[in-house]
Amino acid sequence: MKNRKSILTYLLLVIGVIILVNILADRFFMRLDFTADRRYTLSEATRHILGSINETVTVTAYFSEELPSDFSRLRRDFKEELIEYSTRSKGRVMFEFINPNKDEATEQKAMQEGINPVLINVREKDQVKQQKAYLGAVVHYGDKKEVIPVIQPGAAMEYALSTSIKKLSVENKPKIAFLEGHRENSMNTMIQMMQSLSVLYDVEPLNLKDSAAKPEQYKTLVIIDPKDTIPDYQLRKLDEFLALGKNIYIAMNRVNGNLQTSQGTAVSSGLESWLEKKGVRVNPNFIVDQNCGSVTVNQQQGYMTFQSNLKFPYLPLITKFAATPATKGLTSVMLQFASSIDYFALNKEVSFTPLASTSDKTGTENPPLTFNINRAWQQKDFPMSNLTVAAQLSGKITGSANSRIIVVSDGDFMVNGEGQQARQIQPDNLNFIVNAIDWLSDDTGLIDLRTKEVNSRPLDQMDDGKKALLKYLNFLLPILLIIGAGLFRWQYRRNLRMKRMNENYF
């Protein structure tokens, strides 16, 4: 009876402890994140955004079910991310998952919300077929909504969610201005960049010829490839802007390459002399790099004409970036007819930081020149290394306030074009400019999330020996642990019995 009472007391105690742990876990959330990429840890920027929302945020995730393992894991990761958001926001973020493939009405609703299906490859037996899948979400805040059309495996999930919530909840966005009036690249030719910037900022044109213009209302001024000379009085206004502690982003061309005419010429807008007074010289030269992009050319062979891609060193592929917020996470950026940047210190209160540089095998050529697509390039054509193509000035550039300037020696790497000439730019080209403008303009920290990706370690990329080791380790380790625990318990009980059999045992 006494033994039965002890067992009952023990069971009640265990149940009480379990209930207490659940109550404490519900009140005090904690999760340890040992992943290399900190995939389950929300950033300070996200926590700040979640702490500032005043209304309920509802996330409707339209995810297909019964997908291949990569996409099933994506669904699970997204759900765990939303659980984290809900917990950190104290329930102000609510979510639901809907499978659009279950019936036609649900599928129509998903598409009406802006979630369109994507085709993914599915292996069945010995065949690979394509399956329609939904992998998107809609974020609702009050009567406003933001659509995340597709969530890709390994993509910056936190950035997509946090920026959507920020865009819906922010009342007064910071303002940035794009300089116009000197034949700069039009904002309409940079659609991808404008879409990215409009999430966090009000983007407006600014013409310094207008006497009613108020540059001081903007956090950052962006100057993209001016082709006409900027007058001295406007350059003085740029100095006054910096003196207020504001920032300027400049993407400029010192040379122009025209593949239609195969001619390369120098360009002058007045910015080069303005920058030189601050110690930054953007040289009027063409960088050539062994690590480069290609151009498509028509070639004739007999009666046949065909297209082929030829390496074109005047399109340097940049893969070396400084460890700064403006370039964090970048892997490769394609530039067009870039120039080298030099620095000579004129002001001890100003620091210079190279942000991007060429490969170890590079060189320069001075205009005017004629491009030869079929030129046979040799090692002697690339005698230089690590030429700076993007840089940052920080400090008291003009006046007593700290300000910053970022200079890139190419004014076309972010341009989509217009009409039938429009093209998609590669993701890192977009990140290269948007990250930099974010760093100059935004203090929420969302810049760190744009290039945050999940590092996967798929088994099919491991060698056979390591795969076999992990396979047998996963299979045998639990069994060995159970056997070890059993042997330990058997030995303990055996020793206890022997001790009790001892005549001196009390």
The Cα 399–Cα 303 span in angstroms is 68
- Note whether 167 and 156 are within 8 A (CB): no
| Residue with the two structure tokens 């920080």 | 394
The Cα 411–Cα 37 span in angstroms is 33
Provide φ and ψ at 149, rounded to 5°: -60, -40
The Cα 45–Cα 487 span in angstroms is 51
- Note whether 289 and 361 are within 8 A (CB): yes
DSSP structural state of residue 384: B
Domain 36-168 sits in CATH at 3.40.30.10
The Cα 431–Cα 162 span in angstroms is 17
The Cα 305–Cα 296 span in angstroms is 13
pLDDT, position 73 = 83
For 314, the 3-state DSSP assignment is strand
Averages of pLDDT over runs of 10 residues in the chain (506 residues) are 64 76 61 56 80 89 84 85 88 92 88 87 71 89 88 74 84 90 92 88 93 91 96 95 96 94 94 96 97 80 70 95 88 95 92 96 95 91 96 94 96 88 88 92 66 49 65 76 82 77 61
For 379, the 3-state DSSP assignment is helix
Summary count for the chain: helices (H), strands (E):
11, 24
pLDDT, position 473 = 75
CA angle, 109 then 111 then 112, to 5°: 65
| 175-450 is classed CATH 3.90.550.10 | no
The Cα 118–Cα 130 span in angstroms is 10
Task: Name the residue among 128, 144, 146 with its Cα closest to residue 136.
Answer: 146
Beta strand pairing status for 362-365 and 286-289? antiparallel
The Cα 374–Cα 265 span in angstroms is 20
pLDDT, position 219 = 93
Domain residue ranges in the chain:
36-168, 175-450
Task: Name the residue among 95, 14, 38 with its Cα closest to residue 62.
Answer: 95
- Note whether 291 and 319 are within 8 A (CB): yes
pLDDT, position 26 = 57
The Cα 293–Cα 381 span in angstroms is 16
Half-sphere exposure in the Cβ direction for 421 (13 Å, CA)? 6
The reply to whether omega before 368 is within 30° of 0 (cis) is yes
Provide φ and ψ at 448, rounded to 5°: -70, -15
Task: Name the residue among 80, 94, 69 with its Cα closest to residue 153.
Answer: 69
What separation, in Å, do the N-terminal and C-terminal C-alpha atoms of the chain show?
A: 24
Burial zone of 227 (CB within 10 Å; 0-12 exposed, 13-18 middle, 19+ buried): middle
